[in-house]
Amino acid sequence: MMSLRLTLPARSSASSIRCAMMLGLTLAVGVGSGARANPALPAVGDWAGPCYNCYNYAADRKTAFFVQPFAVRPAAYTCANVTAASGFAVAPWAGPAAGPPPVGWPAGQCAAGHCLVALVVTPPATIAAVRAVPGNRFERTGNRNFRGDYHWYRLNANGVWSHKMGQTPATTFDAAGVALTAANPPHVAAMPMITVAGVARPLYAFCTYLCVPAPPAAMPGGFFTAGAWTHPMLMRSWTLRRAGIEDRRRDLSDIAQTARLLQRMPTRTSQVPNPMWSDTGADRGYAVAAAPDAGPDVPPYLRVHEGVVAFYSDLDIDEDTEVLYYADDRGLESFLADMHACDADLDLDGMVDSADVAFLLARWGGDDTASDLTEDAVTDAQDLAALLAAWGPCPRAE
């Protein structure tokens, strides 16, 4: 489920509300007499922030970061398990498998106070094909562990469907650039493709339509509640990619970890022009988000790419966000590249050794994501095994 357009003008006005303050906010409005809860418009410009994904967007509720319906991810995503994990009710007309849509569809599909969304999931054949490819291009723990992906679309009150691919801005077009109108709803629309061993395969296939309360009673998986940074994480870093495959991510929850990263922050002795980064290509650089009290020299969000570091005044990126650009004169980009290439180097010293074992054991049995190498919501023997398998000097990122 998954970078964002970074050509916003720098503005000096007051910062907008952070992602950390958005957990209880909903933008849903009534339609007509208020009997329905579809968002009035796609509001694509209001969803450019790096911390919202397609699940947030479809449910019209902002949290941070990248909310997910699963507490523990399954071995493979399927239409059935994603639908069940979401807790959303299947719409009266679930999709083409139920026959032709009823007259007037999609009107009247959801009860008062609910809006219609669509779910698409990676087909089993694509998952099997990826798993057969050596390496870790599609899954950081190895392609053999590829779970697939899933994605959400929402219907707006103006009759237009829209969606948000991970960190990219929301859009009202499908993968072929065709508008998502009544004539091209999600069960008809073109889906993204990925190339696996030289063969183009669909990343998604239509699953079902569901009805979502507006706002949902809860959005599991966010790390903020009531505006407070409640997770032990001090910083989060992730790769920026346009593909739907989940980004590589590292959470830093230890002062020594963050100190190494802060040593690579740019000196900011002089600003550089806006690099006008392209929105195309798989490599989009790296992003870092920091806790609100991380320090006066740490922005809420930064991006580094092609030798330039962009400091953002807010995580919730909009027209009021101030963006300042600096030369990457301390090697932040290369540091992050090496960090993401060596997950088992928990203390970020370039080696997987006894210090990393001590780091992991200090978090044994807990859910600190900084030590959860297998991403199963607990630090245990499987994480220790993964660490020992990576013992020795870290590989340098290419």
Give the tens place of pLDDT for each residue, 100-122: 999 999 988 988 888 899 999 99
Please compute the mean of the pLDDT values over residues 174-198 and round it to a whole number. Answer: 95
Question: Which helix (H) or strand (E) covers residue 119, if one does?
Answer: strand 114-121
The region of weakest confidence among 101-110, 291-300, 320-329 is: 291-300
- Residue 281: its pLDDT value, please? 52
Query: Beta-carbon neighbour count of residue 188 at 10 Å?
Result: 12
Average pLDDT, the chain: 77
- Residue 353: its pLDDT value, please? 95
Residues ≥6 apart with Cβ < 8 Å to 237: 249, 250, 252, 261, 286, 287, 288, 289, 336, 339, 340
175 pLDDT tier (thresholds 50, 70, 90): very high
User: What does the alpha-carbon distance between residue 19 and residue 218 come to, in Å, rounded to a whole number?
Assistant: 16
Question: What percentage of the chain reaches a pLDDT higher than 70?
Answer: 74
Confidence check: pLDDT of 267 > 60: yes
Q: In the block, which residue shows the tokens 């509640």?
A: 225
Q: In the block, which residue shows the tokens 């967007």?
A: 57
Please compute the mean of the pLDDT values over residues 288-308 and round it to a whole number. Answer: 81
3-state secondary structure of 337: helix
User: What does the alpha-carbon distance between residue 205 and residue 297 come to, in Å, rounded to a whole number?
Assistant: 44
Q: What angle do CA 271, 260, 390 make, to 5 degrees?
A: 125
- Residue 101: its pLDDT value, please? 94
Report yes or no: 214 and 192 within 8 Å, Cβ to Cβ: no
Please compute the mean of the pLDDT values over residues 283-292 and round it to a whole number. Answer: 79
Q: In the block, which residue shows the tokens 């807790």?
A: 87
- Residue 34: its pLDDT value, please? 35
3-state secondary structure of 136: coil
Q: Comparing 235 with 382, which gets the higher pLDDT?
A: 382
Report yes or no: 127 and 144 within 8 Å, Cβ to Cβ: no
The region of weakest confidence among 105-114, 241-250, 273-282, 372-381 is: 241-250
Confidence check: pLDDT of 97 > 80: yes
Confidence check: pLDDT of 183 > 90: yes
Residue 196 Cα to chain centre, angstroms: 22
Q: Count the alpha carbons within 13 Å of 97 in the hemisphere toward its beta carbon.
A: 8
136 pLDDT tier (thresholds 50, 70, 90): confident
Work out the angle between the directed axes of helices 381-389 and 354-361 (0-180°, nearest 10). 170
Q: Comparing 9 with 169, which gets the higher pLDDT?
A: 169
User: What does the alpha-carbon distance between residue 288 and residue 236 come to, in Å, rounded to a whole number?
Assistant: 6
User: What does the alpha-carbon distance between residue 373 and residue 376 come to, in Å, rounded to a whole number?
Assistant: 8
- Both tokens of 269, joined, read 């002795």
Strand-pair category, 193-196 with 199-202 = antiparallel
- Residue 143: its pLDDT value, please? 87
Please compute the mean of the pLDDT values over residues 386-392 and round it to a whole number. Answer: 94
pLDDT digits (tens, 9 = 90+) for 143-172: 898 899 899 999 988 899 999 886 677 889
- Both tokens of 385, joined, read 């095994």
Q: Comparing 179 with 48, which gets the higher pLDDT?
A: 179
- Residue 282: its pLDDT value, please? 55
Q: Where do the domains of the chain lie, and which CATH numbers do they carry?
A: 24-99+109-213 (no CATH), 231-340 (no CATH), 350-398 (1.10.1330)
User: What does the alpha-carbon distance between residue 167 and residue 122 come to, in Å, rounded to a whole number?
Assistant: 19
pLDDT digits (tens, 9 = 90+) for 356-381: 999 999 989 987 778 888 877 788 99
Confidence check: pLDDT of 71 > 90: no
Q: Comparing 58 with 332, which gets the higher pLDDT?
A: 332
User: What does the alpha-carbon distance between residue 165 and residue 153 come to, in Å, rounded to a whole number?
Assistant: 10
Q: Go through 60-72 and write b for each residue having 16 or more CB atoms within 10 A of its CB, e for each that does not.
A: bbbbbbbbbbbee
Please compute the mean of the pLDDT values over residues 7-34 and round it to a whole number. Answer: 25
Report yes or no: 2 and 244 within 8 Å, Cβ to Cβ: yes
Query: Beta-carbon neighbour count of residue 198 at 10 Å?
Result: 5
User: What does the alpha-carbon distance between residue 93 and residue 107 come to, in Å, rounded to a whole number?
Assistant: 11
DSSP string, 269-286: SSB-------S-SS---E
Using CA atoms, how far residue 341 sits from 29, 137, 370, 377, 398, in Å, is 44, 12, 15, 21, 9
- Both tokens of 236, joined, read 């989060």
Residue 377 has what DSSP assignment? S
| Phi, psi dihedrals of residue 326, rounded to the nearest 5° | -135, 155
Q: Count the alpha carbons within 13 Å of 197 in the hemisphere toward its beta carbon.
A: 11
Confidence check: pLDDT of 260 > 80: yes
- Residue 319: its pLDDT value, please? 66
Please compute the mean of the pLDDT values over residues 38-51 and round it to a whole number. Answer: 71
